[in-house]
Structure formats: structure tokens, C-alpha cells
Amino acid sequence: MSILKPVSRVTLAEQVAAQISDQISRGKWKPGEKLPSETEFCAALDVGRSTLREALKSLAYVGMVQMRHGGGTYVVDGTNLLIERVLASGSLKTEKELADVAEARIAIESETVSLAAERATTADIAQLEALLKEMEKSINENGRNYASLDVEYHLTIARCSKNQILHGLLTPIRGFLQEWVSKSQELPGIRDNAQRQHAKILAAIRDHNPDKARSAMRNHLQTCEKVFNLLGRLSESKKHNSQASKSRGRAGVDHASR
């Protein structure tokens, strides 16, 4: 039984994204080249437009393609280097390690933000608002490091829960949180997207709406998880293609030497 591996749930959109990214990695479409139309993709993949658009949006989110309003979708240059940079450094290198951090964050922070929405004082909310403003300055390259502010924002929410145990559970993994956020900074547009999600979380806390706060936090963390899962699959696809290419090269040399 030890040879069996856990089965992962992969959505139809993720399967489509993986297929398109694999073809881009293989060089079917070159950097700067326009991808086929939605009609062509849908017919070839036998999927609906909503599924295809979700797949393309995820590829755009990780910087593999660029979607131009009314102008189609284009392959972005330097994607392979981007994937390598994001996943190469630090201690979080495998999909399992990233998934573990995501799972822990969702479990802990969904509850801390719910309690924060119930218990945050006027002073607590003012502190979160100040941090959010600092993060906006950082995006405009006029302030502190965004990754550091992001982690501080999440830990401050945990303190606002007024539950020392929950805050104590999150604090020891601060280093992993810092690395998680720092990795994501390489991705085009992720800080702007994260900033919008942080604002929604704060709005729910300000309204003292626990359910809304929990939903906003889960959506934020699940978005991060999906991005890293996709990056992991793209990285594995790239490795597989590289190994296959080397195998074909060795086979050609052996055949020629006979």
C-alpha cells in the first residue's frame, strides 16, 4: 500500500491551464505570440468559455500570459525564469510544503479574523488602516518592504482576536509567512490583487461581521494557494519536458554511435 499516493483534486480549469502552459513551455507559442481565439480553444479542449477564461486568468495571474481587453491573449517573455525564481529560493520548495503552510494559515487565520471582527476596538481598526496605507505606499515604491508589511498585517489581525492561543499558533510560523509572501512578490500584479483582498478583510472587521471576515480571509488565502499550486505544476511540467528532451538527445547519440 505504500506505493499509493494521495489523490489531488484538480478542477477542469486547472487541467486546461496545465495543458496550455505545457504547450507554451514546449514552444508551441513563442513569447509575444497571440494565442488561439476562445472559440478555437473551446472546440479543441471541449470546454465552455467560462472554464477557459478561468484557466487563462490563472495563467495571467502567474505571469505566463497577458490578456488584452478586446485584443486577445499573448505569451509573456521570460516565464520560465519567473517560475524558477519563485520556487527556487528558501525552505519552501515543494508543492507539499507550500500546501502545508496554506492549510495551516486557512485553519488558523479564518478563526482569528472572525474573532477580530467581533472584538476589534476602534484603536485596533485604526492600526490596521494605518498598515493598509503603508502597504499602498509600498506598492508605489514609496515605503517599507511589502512582504514585511503583509505579514505584520496578518499578525495584527491575530492580535485583534484577543485570543493569545490562536495568536501564539500563528507567530511561530512567521518565518514561513514571510517567505510565502516574499515568493509571491515575483508574480506580476499580485501585490495589487492582495491589497484589494486585504481591504475587503478590513471592511468586514470594521463592520464587525465575522462571517464576512471569515469568507474574505479564506478567499484571500485560497487565492494564494491556487497560485502556488499552479506554479508547482508548471515547474514540474518544465522539469519533465527537460528530462524528456535530454533522454531523446542521449537516445540520438547512442543510435548514431552504433
pLDDT in tens, 84-143: 544 444 544 556 666 777 788 899 999 999 999 999 999 999 999 999 999 999 988 776
Q: Which CATH number fits domain 9-77: 2.70.98.10, 1.10.10.10, 1.20.1530.20, 1.25.10.10?
A: 1.10.10.10
pLDDT tens figures, 236-250:
655 555 555 555 555
Residue 170 has pLDDT above 60, yes or no: yes
Highest mean pLDDT of the ranges 18-32, 77-91, 201-215: 201-215
Residue 34: DSSP 8-state: B
Predicted local distance difference test score (pLDDT) of residue 256: 53
Percent of the chain whose pLDDT exceeds 90:
36
Q: Is the pTM of this model over 0.85?
A: no
Distance CA 243, CA 122 (A): 57
Question: Own/partner pairs for 32-38, CB < 8 Å, 24+ apart?
Answer: 32/74, 32/75, 32/77, 33/74, 33/75, 34/72, 34/73, 34/74, 35/65, 35/72, 35/73, 35/74, 35/75, 37/72
Cβ–Cβ < 8 Å for 113, 205: yes
Residue 1: DSSP 8-state: -
H or E, element range at 74: strand 72-75
CATH topology of domain 90-230: Four Helix Bundle (Hemerythrin (Met), subunit A) (1.20.120)
Q: Please report, for the chain, the start and end positions of each structural domain, with discontinuous segments joined by +.
A: 9-77, 90-230
Q: In sequence order, what are the residues at sequence separation of 6 or more whose Cβ sits closer than 8 angstroms to the Cβ of residue 47?
A: 12, 16, 41
